[in-house]
Structures are given as C-alpha cells and as structure tokens.
C-alpha cells in the first residue's frame, strides 16, 4: 500500500499534469479564436472601408452642392474660379478625388479633373450601389490614356431658385483598397501583438510548470531517500530487538556451560548436554530471525512451496510463549486437527504470524488472553488472532497496514506492514476488525493448495 507521502506526491504530479494540459488547451483555444477573429474581422474591414468611402463621397458631394457658385443662378467667372480653388483644396486633402463637375439641364457648367491626359469617358455601368441619403451613387470607368480607372460617382442636387443643378464627384475606387489596407495593417499589428502576448504568457506558464515539475521531482527524490533511510533504521531496530534477547540467553548458557566444564570430572554431563542443546536452539532462533528479515528482500517470482499453516502457527506459539509469559498474557490456541496446506513461503508466513501475535501481545492488558485459531472452509484456509485490548481506533483503521503507521510512541510501523506483504506474497489476504466484546481480530486467509 502506498504511503501518504507517495500518494501526496502522485497527487501533486497529477495536479501539475492537469495544469499543463489546461494551459495548453487554453492557449490553443485562444489561438484558434484569434485566427477566426482576424478572418471575420478582415471581411468586416472591407465592408467598413467601402462604407467609409461611400460616406466620404456623399459628404463631399453635399458640401460642394452647398457652395455659392452652385447655388447662384447668374454666377460669374470669379465664382467658378473660387469653386475651382475649393475643389483643388479638397483634392489636396483627398488624393482619390478624380473630378468634380456641375451640370444644369444636361449642360456641363463646370468640370475639373486630375486625370491629365484624359481622353474619353465611358458611360456609367449602372446604378447598382445604394443611395447615400439624398446623394445618388454610381460607377464609372474613366480612361486616362494609360489605363481604365474604375470610379465611384456621387451626385447631389441643388434646387435653389427653382433651378436644379447637379454636382457629381468621382472618387477612384482604389480609395476603398487603401482604406482597407490601412485598417488591415492596424488589425494585423493588433493580431501580432495579441499572439506575441499569448505566446509570452504561454511560455512563462510552461516554464513555471516545468520548474514546478522539476522541483517536485527533486522533492520526491529527497522524500524517497528519507523513506529509505527511515526504513533502514527501522529494519535495523527490528533486527537488534529480535536478536538481542536470544543473544542474552546464549551468553547466559555459555557462562553456565563454562562453569560446568570448569568442574572437570565433577561436572554433570547431563547438565552440559542440556546447556549445549539450549545454546544450539538459541542459535537456531537467531538464524531464523535473520532469515525472516531476509524475506523482506526476497523476490516475489521465487517458487512457492507447500506449507502447513498449522505447523507455522505451532512454531510461532512455541517461539513467542516465553514472551507472553513474561508479559503476563495468556496464549490460547484452537488449531484445526487436519493439515492445512497452502502454497507460500514458510519463513514469510511465520514472520507474518509473529508480527500479528506480537502486536496482539502489546495491545493486550496484563492477565489478558490472546487466542489463535485455524480452520478450513469453502476452499480456503484461515488463521485468526484475537486479543482483549482496546481495539483499533477508527482513525487508524485505514492506515493500519501502511509502512511506518503506528499508534505506539515506541513502535516502528513495520510489523503489520511486513505481515501484510508476507501474506499477500503467499497469495493470501489479511484483514482487521474490532470484536463485539472488545479487542481486535486479525484474520488471514489463503486458498487451499491443490
């Protein structure tokens, strides 16, 4: 089961990945929206440029129709010269102004154009354009001697003194293209500025996410190193704890053996044999403890062997009996009379049962009882350990089998974690619950060996 730090690290990695994905999606959506905006805005720019030229031409026609030379019926040459100066001044402001003409009853009274070398005029191609308020809009093609230039014409009527005079203003159609080019250039600048801003923002966001990701990798590396050191320290503490007591007993037996040997012929051979046997059993216990700790690094791919759960339980009860007696806790067993064969690892299974029994002893009060049961039913083999302690607090139930999770100040948090790993490596499952009458119950289940 992953530790809290591992789960937290995975959660942070997930958040960083999600943040990166969201940033990429937002940047993509923004880029697509900007592209479509520019495309649609381009069409709008053309329409706006055309409407701007139409409004300008209509305004010019109305303004010229309101001049005194056009309004007076009997104007003189001086009036028309003044009108010409006005037209040329307008041409300085609006270079696309090609000509201005004033007519009355089909007779041209005034004409001024900028098309030096004008050779001929092609009649209007029709009045397909809409009228700009009271100004009529049309199209013309005018030959300048070098090319045929399309024009937009604007005709305004002046009906002063009962006489209708018409002022026609012709603007080169290229004025629309110029207006459109200017607007498109401004739009392009805005688009490039928006894309640059978006790119810079996206780049900074990516750098931030990458920096946070690298920081998270470094943090994970430090946390894994700290966990390895903590695991090594806890494992060393466990080895020292399990080996110290047998070595103390071995030292006492060797001292007594020396005393018996020093007596010479008066020494009791039976006593010497007894002490030697006890010393050998103590060394066997030390060897068993060391092999149990080596199980932690045993590869899961190793071949399993047929193991009798009853025999493993008896060995554990025999091994831990003196410890339970020293703690004032009774140890009862209700083992199945039939063999309970499973496929697993005998050393690992014993280590798991020892850890569970040790946990039950530590949780039991003095004069309490720990019961060990084995059974076979419905194709599975079970081993349960019940104690009469305070039970498992609800807040610790979910983390009970996690590494370094312990409810005791002097605990290492490895016992139940290693027990769970050993049981699962043997193909079994382990569970814990609180008993109705008080205390806790740990149950281990294995499939029956075929």
C-beta separation of 139 from 150 below 8 A: yes
Task: Return d(Cα 69, Cα 64) in angstroms, integer.
Answer: 9
Query: At a CB cut-off of 8 Å and minimum separation 6, what does 270 contact?
Result: none
Q: Is residue 71 part of a domain?
A: yes
**Cα separations (Å) of 102 from 1, 107, 396, 422?**
97, 9, 101, 109
Q: For the domain that residue 389 is a member of, what is the CATH number?
A: 3.30.565.10
The span from the CA of 439 to the CA of 322, in Å, is 22
* Boundary of a domain, candidates 142, 172, 202: 172
| Structural domain count of the chain | 2
CB 109 within 8 A of CB 103: yes
Q: Where is the domain boundary, 151, 172, 193?
A: 172
- Residue written as tokens 């067993």? 333
- What phi and psi, each to the nearest 5 degrees, are found at residue 305? -125, 160
Identify the domain boundary among 140, 172, 204: 172
**DSSP reduced 3-state for 75:** coil
Q: Is residue 93 part of a domain?
A: yes
Here the CATH number for the domain that contains residue 117 is 3.30.450
In a domain, 153, yes or no: yes
User: What is the distance between the alpha carbons of residues 10 and 2, in angstroms, rounded to a whole number?
Assistant: 10
Does 210 map to a domain? no
Residue 358 domain flag: yes
pTM value > 0.95: no
What pLDDT is recorded for position 94? 83
Which pLDDT belongs to residue 123? 41
Q: How many Cα atoms sit within 13 Å of 278 on the Cβ side?
A: 18
- pLDDT, one tens digit per residue, over 79-130 is 888 888 888 888 888 888 888 988 888 888 888 887 543 433 434 433 433 4
Task: Look at residue 204 and tell me if it is in a domain.
Answer: no
Q: Residue 433 falls within a domain, yes or no? A: yes
Does 271 map to a domain?
no
Question: Which has the minimum average pLDDT: 4-13, 196-205, 246-255, 376-385?
Answer: 4-13
User: Whole-angstrom Cα distance, residue 379 to residue 133?
Assistant: 98
Domain that holds residue 143: 66-172
DSSP 8-state symbol, 268:
-
- Model confidence at 293, pLDDT cuts 50, 70, 90, reads low
pLDDT the model gives residue 116: 43
């Amino acid at each position: 089961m992953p530790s809290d730090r591992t789960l937290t690290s995975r959660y942070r990695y997930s958040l960083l990945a999600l943040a990166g994905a969201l940033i990429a999606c937002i940047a993509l959506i923004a880029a697509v929206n900007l592209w479509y905006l520019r495309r649609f805005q381009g069409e709008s720019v053309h329409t706006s440029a055309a409407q701007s030229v139409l409004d300008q031409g209509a305004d010019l026609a109305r303004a010229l129709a309101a001049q005194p030379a056009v309004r007076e019926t009997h104007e003189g040459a001086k009036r028309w010269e003044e009108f010409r100066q006005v037209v040329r001044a307008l041409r300085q402001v609006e270079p696309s102004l090609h000509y201005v003409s004033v007519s009355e009853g089909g007779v041209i009274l005034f004409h001024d154009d900028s098309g030096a070398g004008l050779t001929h005029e092609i009649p209007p191609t029709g009045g397909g354009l809409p009228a700009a308020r009271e100004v009529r809009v049309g199209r013309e093609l005018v030959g300048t001697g070098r090319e045929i230039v399309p024009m937009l014409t604007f005709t305004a009527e002046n009906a002063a003194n009962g006489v209708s005079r018409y002022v026609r203003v012709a603007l080169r159609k290229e004025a629309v293209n110029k207006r459109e080019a200017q607007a498109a250039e401004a739009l392009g600048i805005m688009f490039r500025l928006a894309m640059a801003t978006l790119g810079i923002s996206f780049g900074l966001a990516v750098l931030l996410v990458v920096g946070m990701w690298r920081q998270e990798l470094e943090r994970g590396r430090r946390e894994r190193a700290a966990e390895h050191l903590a695991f090594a320290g806890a494992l060393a503490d466990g080895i020292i704890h399990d080996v110290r007591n047998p070595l103390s007993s071995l030292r006492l037996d060797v001292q007594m053996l020396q005393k018996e040997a020093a007596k010479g012929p008066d020494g009791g051979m039976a006593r010497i044999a007894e002490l030697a046997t006890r010393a050998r059993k103590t060394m066997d216990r030390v060897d068993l403890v060391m092999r149990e700790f080596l199980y932690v690094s045993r590869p899961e791919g190793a071949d399993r062997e047929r193991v009798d759960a009853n025999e493993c339980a008896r060995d554990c009860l025999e091994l831990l009996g003196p410890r339970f007696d020293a703690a004032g806790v009774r140890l009862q067993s209700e083992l199945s009379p039939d063999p309970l064969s499973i496929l697993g690892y005998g050393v690992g299974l014993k280590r798991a049962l020892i850890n569970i029994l040790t946990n039950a002893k530590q949780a039991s009060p003095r004069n309490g009882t720990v019961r060990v049961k084995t059974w076979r039913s419905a194709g599975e083999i079970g081993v349960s350990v019940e104690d009469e302690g305070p039970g498992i607090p609800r807040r610790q139930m979910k983390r009970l089998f996690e590494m370094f999770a312990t409810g005791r100040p002097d605990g290492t948090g490895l016992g139940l974690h290693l027990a769970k790993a050993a049981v699962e490596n043997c193909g079994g499952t382990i569970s814990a619950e609180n008993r109705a009458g008080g205390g806790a119950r740990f149950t281990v289940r294995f499939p029956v060996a075929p």
